[in-house]
Amino acid sequence: MVSDRSKLGFYLLLAPLLLWLVTLIILPHIGLFIVSISEKVGVREYEIGLGNYAVFFNEPLYWRTFARTAFMSISTTVLTLLLGFPIAYYIAKLTRGRTKTTLFLMCLIPFWVSELVRTFGWMILLRETGVLSSFLQYTGVIGGPVEFLYNDGAIMVGLVYTSILFMIVPLVTTLDSLDDSLIEAGYDLGGSGWSILREIVIPHAMPGIVSGCIVVFMLSLGNYLTPILLGGKDSLWFTGLIYTQFITRFNWELGSAFGFLLLGLSSTIVFFGLKLSRQSLSDTMGR
């Protein structure tokens, strides 16, 4: 009896989560999948087939765009890690109490405004008549106005800025849990800063590094606004392709197929990333 009742309670508690998963995640995806395997043969005529998926592999434009998006997202992830790690280390290990909270809040502040506003902020800074160009002309570093916007570099800057918090938070959490005495013990036993970082700090922070990387990678891959706005004419991004298929081409079938390919391919990349770093998803996300 008791176990029956506790089971009931368990399912009742689970119900909202299940409802949420089923109605907002699973059902739309099933619908999307059905759309993705419908091939258009004429006006309001469809038949089932994998033609939409074949389009992706047969048209170099599409898979190249995906490869480019994935490559840039990986670069963004690496760059975010390189920038975020020292910041997280500083916050977690070298500051205490109030300073720590303040620094953490400072990382959060940009996220109080919407992504659109943040991106426009970067546009104001980087455009030809923008703050950076004017400043460099004023200081005489450059002779005439320079366009910093509308290139891959601008996209990277925007993506790193957008996602760095999601790297810092898990890193601070894992680094916080690293006992200072382990680092001291490392020094005491003759370790140098570099060897302690490599043998003690990074292995300890690995779950945080991996979960941060997964989040940043997925965010970058799925980002739409930043690459479109900052990339300008070179802003080829896979989500942009999906948007175009859905909205301007009225080709939901291909758009849905692209959506599933994005899901599958990004999961594959994450899977290999986990294998490479010898971490498991439950290790990294369970923290």
Q: What is the residue-wise DSSP string for 87-142?
A: HHHIIIII--HHHHHHHHHHHHGGGGS-HHHHHHHHHHHHSTTSHHHHHHHHTTSS
CB 155 within 8 A of CB 231: yes
Q: How far is the CB of 230 from other proteins (least distance, A)?
A: 10
Q: What is the CA radius of gyration of the chain?
A: 23
Listed residue (72, 273, 81) closest to 164, CA to CA:
81
Shortest distance in whole angstroms from residue 63 CB to other proteins: 11
| Binding region for other proteins (CB under 8 A) out of 2-10, 83-91, 100-108, 237-245 | 237-245
The reply to whether 153 sits near other proteins by the rule CB under 8 A is: no
According to the 3-state scheme, what is the secondary structure of 62-89?
HHHHHHHHHHHHHHHHHHHHHHHHHHHH
For position 31 contacting other proteins by CB under 8 A, the verdict is yes
Residue 186: alpha-carbon gap to chain centroid = 34
Figure out which of the listed residues 186, 208, 212, 227 binds other proteins, where binding follows CB under 8 A: 186
Least distance (Å) between residue 92 CB and other proteins = 17
Binding of residue 57 to other proteins (CB under 8 A)? no
264 near other proteins, rule: CB under 8 A? no
* Residue ranges that bind other proteins, judged by CB under 8 A: 28, 31-32, 35, 43-44, 61-62, 64-65, 127-129, 147, 149-150, 179, 181-182, 184-192, 195, 199-200, 203-204, 224-225, 228, 232-234, 236, 239, 241-252, 259
